[in-house]
Chain A
């Protein structure tokens, strides 16, 4: 493959996301590591959304639902394990868990199931209606979580210590970062393979011309639903990691602001660009961090910057830097 400007940018980005926390670690600046971890996890959520949004053309404003489900999967399993109150006793005794791999599996399965149901219903609509119906499902879960007092309702659930990963000390910021970073890289690799696989090509074709896809004997609905489920599952995994980063989960993770933010990461970086969410999430967190120090009214500056980027950097940041072609190469 001939290295293009975009692929150079991609490598630079993913390297920077590794080098910055390592440098911070050697300088004993643990908070920068935490910021980088947050960027990696939110980028992972964006990679998930990008499969539906960029590849499938499905503008979902309800991905907070999957993000939150992943978070609650972590919160509920860990809370039961900590308080020694079994989650259920039938058909077998299950006491919850504080093992990350098991938590991740549960988060992926739960969010995939939710995505299957929400997707199957929502994909009957299209365009703006699809945006709004996914938003509606997200809001339903949000209000449900607020009043679900068994798990803290609006107060959320807080976990005393981070969950365990075999062989690592997850409370050490750099080790937890390593976990998030490796998962992000795996997800990026998976997303790249998916885009080039027959499934990805068919999905992209369905986005551009659904009739033609149907003519060759594929059903766009099934393709899109599959993409939506994969997308939801990855975002759910990110949710579980995000909850572990904060050792806390609350309905805020399910609110439409969260859906909007995940979407902003994708758009900022460039829709359909494999590494778009990485760039977008890193930039957003950097802005939030830098502008927060300027004044109480820093969100004005954030707004102006976002506006300028939309108006003048079309195709997101990667688009502006690398040119318009070669989406999902």
Chain B
């Protein structure tokens, strides 16, 4: 058996030489089918827009659908690393998939750039020199919401999130910055679609505001039902429930709601203006938060490639770390744990013509890092 293997290796050498011409191979694992596909499609479209605009030869992107299944994501990652020999992985939307893929990938000397998920473990104890997060640490937007609540003079919040780790992190993040009292704290079932019971509790609680983290369809359901309930306390949430993709499905119910985000289409810088226009032009819809993160991720990679080859890992890592690219968020830099240090804004949902969208009304937190950087020993 050994000899066969040697022969096969010998036969493979010309193939390797041919492969050397495509010098950078990027693997994108993201969710393109099933319920959460909207987010993956946006990340992919944003990412590919940047790659196409750049247009350089020698960058190849392989895209695979993880179906939002951790085991599928792990196997795709294994294949991309072992068979297709990618240099860089990216694309994962969900924290639990990232936790399954990232430690093993970085341990195999592949770079991983996260365009969306930022679980606390990867920012703290399990940080890695080859792992970069281009979006946010999971708590960030919630912390900004807590800070905004203080500023807006809210002193008695009712908070709710699904009963799973990201939900608990969300409420922990909010409470970390928020200084007032809690009128109530509820954990709902993951995937729950009816919030009548929770809304009744909010009504009875005497709260002065509501903070919720309910990603995807859960948030749509909550907002519609909340609007119909006649409870008119101000609502604050993270950007995920007010994103361009799902805002149209929430409709009027979202108007006026404040939400926190590190990006919006009205951030005034040339890179952002160009991105919004090009995205609309190419895909015929407004870009979302996720698209902006995909776009930034691709531009970060390209900026690092300008300075170093991926094969020279130390130089490439330093080039990534420097983050010298025109981010659509404006200023962008990495903290010591390779997570962004950035401004997080407060947005309000408005209606522009027939389309629901957001506009920035305040800055929630400036130059904000995350609470876990101290635990990261890199």
Q: Do A and B bind each other?
A: yes
- A149 in contact with B99 given A26-B5, A248-B74, A292-B65 (CB within 8 Å): no
Residues of B within 8 A of A22 (CB): 1
Chain B, 90-107, CB within 8 A of any chain A CB = 95-96, 99-100, 103-104, 107
Cα–Cα distance between A149 and B103 once the two chains are bound (Å): 20
A93 at interface, CB cutoff 8 A: no
What residue of chain A has the Cβ atom nearest to residue B37's Cβ?
A: A296
Stretch from A151-159, A184-192, A210-218, A219-227 forming part of the interface with B: A151-159
Instruction: Name the distance in Å between B372's Cβ and chain A's nearest Cβ.
Output: 15
A2 at interface, CB cutoff 8 A: no
Residues of B within 8 A of A242 (CB): 71
Chain A, 153-177, CB within 8 A of any chain B CB = 153-156, 158, 160-161, 173
B69 at interface, CB cutoff 8 A: yes
Q: Do the beta carbons of A248 and B71 come within 8 Å of each other? A: yes
B165 at interface, CB cutoff 8 A: yes
Choose among A34, A146, A160, A253 the residue that contacts B190 (Cβ–Cβ < 8 A).
Answer: A146
- A147 in contact with B71 given A30-B82, A250-B100 (CB within 8 Å): no
Cα–Cα distance between A27 and B165 once the two chains are bound (Å): 42
Q: Do the beta carbons of B164 and A147 come within 8 Å of each other? A: yes
Cα–Cα distance between A22 and B5 once the two chains are bound (Å): 10
Choose among A26, A32, A35, A292 the residue that contacts B8 (Cβ–Cβ < 8 A).
Answer: A26
Q: Tally chain A residues at the interface, Cβ within 8 Å.
A: 37
Residues of A within 8 A of B78 (CB): 30-31, 34
Q: Do the beta carbons of B107 and A250 come within 8 Å of each other? A: no
Cα–Cα distance between A242 and B75 once the two chains are bound (Å): 11
- A252 in contact with B165 given A26-B8, A28-B9, A34-B75 (CB within 8 Å): no
Cα–Cα distance between A173 and B33 once the two chains are bound (Å): 28
Cα–Cα distance between A155 and B187 once the two chains are bound (Å): 16
Instruction: Name the distance in Å between B237's Cβ and chain A's nearest Cβ.
Output: 20
Choose among B8, B33, B37 the residue that contacts A298 (Cβ–Cβ < 8 A).
Answer: B33
What residue of chain A has the Cβ atom nearest to residue B95's Cβ?
A: A155
Q: Do the beta carbons of B71 and A296 come within 8 Å of each other? A: no
Cα–Cα distance between A26 and B65 once the two chains are bound (Å): 28
Q: Do the beta carbons of B96 and A155 come within 8 Å of each other? A: yes
**Chain A, 222-243, contact with B by CB distance < 8 Å: what is the 0/1 string?**
0000000000000000000010
A125 at interface, CB cutoff 8 A: no
Q: Do the beta carbons of B4 and A154 come within 8 Å of each other? A: no
What residue of chain B has the Cβ atom nearest to residue A26's Cβ?
A: B4
Which B residues contact A (CB, under 8 angstroms)? 1, 4-5, 8-9, 12, 32-33, 37, 64-65, 69-71, 74-75, 78-79, 82-83, 95-96, 99-100, 103-104, 107, 119, 163-166, 168, 187, 189-190
Given contacts A30-B78, A156-B70, A296-B32, 17 further A-B contacts (CB under 8 A): A28-B8, A31-B82, A34-B79, A143-B189, A146-B163, A153-B165, A154-B165, A155-B164, A155-B165, A155-B166, A158-B99, A246-B100, A247-B74, A247-B100, A250-B100, A296-B33, A296-B37
Which A residues contact B (CB, under 8 angstroms)? 22, 25-32, 34-35, 38, 143, 146-147, 149, 152-156, 158, 160-161, 173, 242, 246-248, 250, 252-253, 292, 296-299
What are 18 A-B pairs with beta-carbon distances under 8 A?
A: A26-B5, A28-B5, A28-B8, A34-B82, A143-B189, A146-B163, A146-B190, A147-B164, A154-B165, A154-B190, A155-B96, A155-B119, A156-B100, A158-B100, A173-B82, A248-B74, A292-B64, A292-B65
